[in-house]
Amino acid sequence: MTTHADISTVTFQVSEADAATRLDTYLAAHIEGWSRARLQRLIEAGDVLVNSKLVKASYKVAAHDDIEVELTPAPESNFTPENIPLDIVFEDDHLIVINKPAGLVVHPAAGVHSGTLANALAYHFQQLSHAGSIRPGIVHRLDKDTSGLLVAAKTESAHESLGDQFRAREVFKSYVALVYGAVKQQSGSVEQPIARDPRNRTRMAIVAGGRGALSLFKVRHSYQSFTLLDVELKTGRTHQIRVHLAWLKHPVVGDEVYGSGRENNVQDVQLRARIRKLNRHFLHAEQLGFRHPQTGKPLKFTAPLPAELREFLELLEAKN
């Protein structure tokens, strides 16, 4: 039995004894704390692959099938409260919107059990309720080194409503990314499937049969050897923007996973040094829009670029 609180992606190989079991039933028996209905929604959203292919919940698993499941943290998870400062953009009785700094992990995972946004939210909610009854319902993630807007639910009904909006692609998510090179198209899209890189399981990659992923981009400003992009996510795959922009041959500045070594091609010594000192990638979740889970009212939030990214752009401006 796998405990989902420790990981974001799980893999299984079906045994002879489990052959001919429905996929949703198999997963419910092997992933602790996840209901069959919730797992069915993951399957429908394309977050479950069998032998690197999308299948239905009714699919009968076969012996030796390889199953990969990307889990979104469930609201029932318990987190140790930790007094970590939060930049709160909006809050009411149903949800909270946070401007996350780079370097803060969103959710406990393998090797990271404290110091996360989930721990900070648990402390914040506990202080509000004077009890441990409210738990953070984290609906979506940002990578550790991505800054910007993230929404968490305070109630199970709010979590379900927000989760449904994300699955239905009704949530507006817009990012700012600085990439290497001159992007020639003023606007465009990347629609390429994403899955675990079969050669390196710690990375994601463009993989035939992977989960469908769509990113829209528009040039905000062009610099010599760099381009500032607005990127709208239509899906929410792991590392989606970073993988799609690297596929375009314009990886995100400072991305050591998908653009490693690209800074070595930067001719300006000062810029090259500043990229290395950033200690993060230049990706910021600038805008987030969704319907309030209780009232249905449209909400939209904007988070300005953090100081270290603004200062890098000012240096680029000075050199152009």
Question: Domain check: are 132 and 28 in the same one?
Answer: no
pTM: 0.82
Last residue of a domain, one of 53, 70, 87: 70
Residue with tokens 């109630």: 155
| One domain, residues 126 and 206 | no
Same domain, 312 and 198: yes
pLDDT one-digit tens code per residue, 241-252: 999 999 999 999
Going by pLDDT thresholds of 50, 70 and 90, the confidence category of residue 4 is very low
- For the chain, the domain total comes to 3
- Phi, psi angles (nearest 5°) of residue 23: -60, -45
What's the token pair of residue 272? Answer: 């090259």
Confirm whether 213 is domain-assigned.
yes
- Residues with catalytic annotation? 143
Please indicate, yes or no, whether residues 189 and 313 belong to a single structural domain of this protein: yes
- 47: CATH: 3.10.290.10
Confirm if 185 and 149 have CB atoms less than 8 A apart: no
* Residue 42's pLDDT band (cuts 50, 70, 90): confident
| Same-domain check for residues 81 and 65 | no
- Find where tokens 């927000």 sit: 162
For residue 295, tell me if it sits in a domain: no
Cβ contact 34:27 at 8 Å: yes
The Cα–Cα gap between 45 and 272 comes to 40
CB-based contact 74:116 (threshold 8 Å): no
What pLDDT is stored for residue 83 in this prediction?
Answer: 94
Q: Look up tokens 């314009």; give the residue.
A: 250
C-alpha span between 63 and 140 (Å, rounded): 33
Q: Which pLDDT score, from 0 to 100, does residue 72 have? A: 61
**Residue 122 sits in the same domain as residue 219:** no
> Do the domain assignments include residue 241?
yes
Q: What percent of the chain has pLDDT above 90?
A: 60
Residue 218 lies in a domain: yes
How many Å from the N-terminal Cα to the C-terminal Cα in the chain?
A: 57
198 and 210 share a domain?
yes
Q: Which of 90, 92, 152, 84 is nearest to 128 (CA)?
A: 92
Domain that holds residue 140: 74-168
Q: pLDDT tens-digit profile of 94-125?
A: 999 999 999 999 877 656 778 999 899 988 98
- CATH number at 107 reads 3.30.2350.10
| 177 and 47 both lie in a single domain | no
Do residue 65 and residue 84 come from a single domain? Answer: no
Residues 64 and 26 in one domain: yes
Is the Cβ–Cβ distance between 283 and 154 less than 8 Å?
no
My answer on whether 83 and 154 are in the same domain is yes
Q: In this model, does residue 127 exceed pLDDT 80?
A: no
Same domain, 178 and 219: yes
Is pLDDT of 77 > 70? Answer: no
Last residue in a domain, options 70, 96, 114: 70
CB neighbour list of residue 133: distance below 8 Å, 6 or more residues apart: none
Q: Is 219 a domain residue?
A: yes
In-domain check, residue 15: yes
